[in-house]
């Protein structure tokens, strides 16, 4: 019987814990371009991210697999994550690509086709993108011109998708099925056009964890840069759990009323609601009104910055004990 026990022991070590209905999606832009800190991650920090993922035993999956499993209701490994990179800057090819290959981590690049077509300085070329695609890198769409899409008419939005899809077909032989909103900005109208254009999911830039209770065309991502990029934040993001909600009010990130009134209902079984707290950009912790499972967030004053967020978190408690993990929901807003 000893060999059987040995096999069981090995399986227990190497098999991941399939116990989650959510996943963290992380995003980067530039690598080792310190003159642009708001979108850059320093190379030594990125190296530390990749090694931490390995050391902690977190499971890196292709974004398409996470999308498929969340939409079908299949379980995912606990602390599963996907790596995404926006804009296809040259440093993705020269710095991120070889590092991610060395760790055998899958990742997705979201490409706005016009910048590549024009051969703009600092952007990857189609040849480089084809090389990465041939190596198994997933290519997603970020439109053609990378506009603020909520400012476009419906016809202009459709033309963005049509033009970019044509260029993807011509250069890569296929069109992407995943979409990232430029700047993380969209309106309900833009979201619905993307949804009707043959994409399987779309992603913003509000922090949070992807979950089936959230519209697959509004899934969040944790963004990393020089200001918000250390390993402790990566750990917080990957260990975060979704805050399943429904019946959200003020679902349009483009503000028609400022300050916004944000409300949502938290799913049954998610406790303790009394420990849910919310923060707003530039305001710190803000008032939360709880009515049974209904949460209403009230801000003391209007947002002043063009782009702002409300983040709501609560601890994950199991068997009456804090686990050190947090449930997380975030909503991004932009001034009209």
Residue 250 has a pLDDT of 74
Contacts 24+ apart (CB under 8 A), 203-206: 203/25, 203/27, 203/84, 203/110, 203/178, 203/179, 204/180, 204/332, 205/27, 205/181, 205/332, 206/309, 206/330, 206/331, 206/332
What letter would DSSP give residue 267? P
Examine the pLDDT at 9 and tell me if it is beyond 80.
Answer: no
pLDDT tens by residue, 124-160:
999 999 999 999 999 999 999 999 999 999 999 999 9
pLDDT tens by residue, 102-111:
999 999 999 9
Domains in the chain and their CATH numbers?
A: 18-241 (3.20.20.370), 246-335 (2.60.40)
Report field, pTM of the whole predicted structure over 0.95? no
- Percent of the chain, pLDDT > 90? 90
User: Exposure of 189 by Cβ count < 10 A (0-12 exposed, 13-18 middle, 19+ buried)?
Assistant: middle
Distance CA 174, CA 144 (A): 15
Distance CA 96, CA 31 (A): 7
pLDDT tens by residue, 312-327:
999 999 988 999 999 9
- Model confidence at 15, pLDDT cuts 50, 70, 90, reads very low
Residue 55 has a pLDDT of 98
The two tokens of residue 28 are: 């980067």
- Model confidence at 18, pLDDT cuts 50, 70, 90, reads very low
Distance CA 283, CA 138 (A): 38
- Model confidence at 19, pLDDT cuts 50, 70, 90, reads low
Residue 16: strand, helix, or coil = coil
pLDDT tens by residue, 193-241:
999 999 999 999 999 999 999 999 999 999 999 999 999 999 999 999 9
């Amino acid at each position: 019987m000893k060999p059987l026990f040995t096999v069981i022991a090995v399986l227990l070590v190497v098999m991941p814990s399939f116990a989650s209905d959510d996943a963290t999606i992380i995003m980067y832009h530039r690598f080792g371009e310190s003159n642009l800190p708001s979108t850059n991650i320093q190379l030594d920090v990125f190296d530390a991210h990749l090694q931490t993922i390995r050391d902690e035993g977190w499971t890196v999956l292709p974004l398409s697999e996470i999308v498929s499993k969340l939409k079908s209701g299949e379980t995912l490994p606990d602390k599963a994550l996907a790596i995404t990179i926006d804009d296809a800057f040259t440093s993705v090819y020269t710095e991120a690509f070889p590092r991610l290959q060395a760790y055998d981590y899958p990742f997705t690049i979201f490409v706005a086709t016009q910048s590549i077509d024009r051969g703009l300085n600092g952007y990857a070329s189609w040849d480089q993108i084809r090389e990465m695609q041939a190596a198994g890198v997933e290519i997603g769409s970020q439109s053609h011109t990378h506009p603020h899409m909520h400012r476009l008419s419906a016809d202009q939005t459709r033309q963005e998708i049509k033009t970019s899809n044509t260029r993807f077909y011509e250069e890569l032989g296929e069109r992407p099925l995943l979409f990232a909103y430029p700047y993380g900005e969209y309106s309900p109208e833009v979201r619905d056009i993307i949804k009707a254009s043959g994409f399987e999911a779309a992603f913003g830039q509000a922090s949070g964890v992807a979950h089936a209770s959230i519209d697959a065309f509004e899934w969040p991502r944790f963004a990393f840069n020089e200001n918000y990029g250390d390993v402790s934040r990566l750990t917080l993001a990957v260990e975060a759990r979704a805050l399943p909600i429904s019946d959200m009010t003020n679902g349009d990130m483009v503000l028609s009323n400022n300050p916004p009134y944000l409300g949502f209902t938290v799913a049954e079984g998610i406790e303790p609601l009394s420990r849910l707290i919310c923060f707003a950009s530039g305001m710190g912790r803000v008032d939360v009104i709880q009515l049974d499972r209904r949460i209403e967030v009230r801000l003391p004053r209007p947002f002043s910055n063009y782009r702002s967020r409300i983040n709501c978190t609560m601890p994950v408690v199991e068997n009456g004990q804090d686990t050190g993990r947090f449930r997380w929901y975030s909503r991004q807003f932009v001034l009209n």
